[in-house]
Amino acid sequence: MDRGLIIRGVRRCSFGRFALWMVPWALLLIVGCYAAFLCLYEGLHHTNMDNRFAFGLWIFLDLTVIALGAGAFFTGFLLYVMKRKELQAVINSAVVIGFICYSGAVAVLAVDVGQPLRAWFTFWHPNTHSMLTEVTFCISVYLTVLAIEYLPVILKNRKLRQVPSFLVFEFQLHKLMYVLAGVGTFLSFFHQGSLGGLYGVLHARPFVFREGFAIWPSTFFLFILSAAAVGPSFILLTTWLVSKVTRKELVKPAVFRSLAHVSGVLLIVYVLFKSIDTLIWINGTSPGLGFAAYDYYAWKPFGTWILFTEIIVLGLVPALLLLNEKRLPSRGWLILAAMLASSGVALNRFVLTIQTLALPTLPFDQFLSYWPSWQETATFLAVVAYGVLVYSFSFRYLTLFPQEKELSRI
Partner 1 sequence: MTKETVKTRPARYGMVIDLDRCNGCGACMIACAVENNVPACPEGVTDRTGITWMRVQKLSNGQSFPDSRTAFIPVMCQQCGDKTPCVSVCPQQAVEVDEASGIVDQMPQRCLGCRYCMVACPYHARYFNWWDPAWPNGMERTLNPDVAPRMRGVVEKCNFCHGRYQEARAKAAVDGAAERAVEYTTACAEACPTGAITFGDLDDPGSEVAQLAKSENAFRLLEKLGTGPKVHYISKRAWVRAAAGSSLAAETREVRHG
Residues forming the site for partner 1 (CB under 8 A): 43-45, 49-55, 112-115, 118-119, 121-122, 124-127, 129-133, 136, 198, 201-206, 289-290, 356-357, 361-365, 368
In order of 65, 127, 137, 139, 278, the CA distances from 193 in angstroms are 15, 17, 13, 12, 17
Least distance (Å) between residue 290 CB and partner 1: 3
Sign, CA dihedral 288-299-347-266, equals positive
d(CA 277, CA 268): 14
Question: Is 337 in contact with 233 (CB distance < 8 Å)?
Answer: yes
Least distance (Å) between residue 32 CB and partner 1: 20
Least distance (Å) between residue 225 CB and partner 1: 23
Question: Is 148 in contact with 183 (CB distance < 8 Å)?
Answer: no
> In this complex, which beta carbon is closest to partner 1, that of residue 132 or of residue 151?
132
> In this complex, which beta carbon is closest to partner 1, that of residue 209 or of residue 234?
209
Q: At what angle do helices 88-112 and 253-280 cross, to 10 degrees?
A: 50
> In this complex, which beta carbon is closest to partner 1, that of residue 132 or of residue 167?
132
Least distance (Å) between residue 300 CB and partner 1: 19
DSSP string, 124-177: HS--TT-HHHHHHHHHHHHHHHHHHHHHHHHHTSTTGGGSHHHHHHHHHHHHHH
Least distance (Å) between residue 410 CB and partner 1: 52
Task: Compute the C-alpha angle 388/393/399, nearest 5°.
Answer: 115
d(CA 83, CA 65): 26
Least distance (Å) between residue 292 CB and partner 1: 11
Question: Is 74 in contact with 84 (CB distance < 8 Å)?
Answer: no
Least distance (Å) between residue 194 CB and partner 1: 11
d(CA 401, CA 403): 5
**Phi-psi region for residue 260, left (φ > 0), alpha (ψ -120 to 50) or beta?**
alpha
Q: What is the 8-class DSSP label of residue 392?
A: H
Least distance (Å) between residue 121 CB and partner 1: 4
Least distance (Å) between residue 201 CB and partner 1: 7
Rg, the chain, Cα only: 22
d(CA 40, CA 113): 9
Phi, then psi, of 176 in degrees rounded to 5: -80, -10
Question: Is 21 in contact with 381 (CB distance < 8 Å)?
Answer: no
> In this complex, which beta carbon is closest to partner 1, that of residue 2 or of residue 365?
365
d(CA 100, CA 106): 10
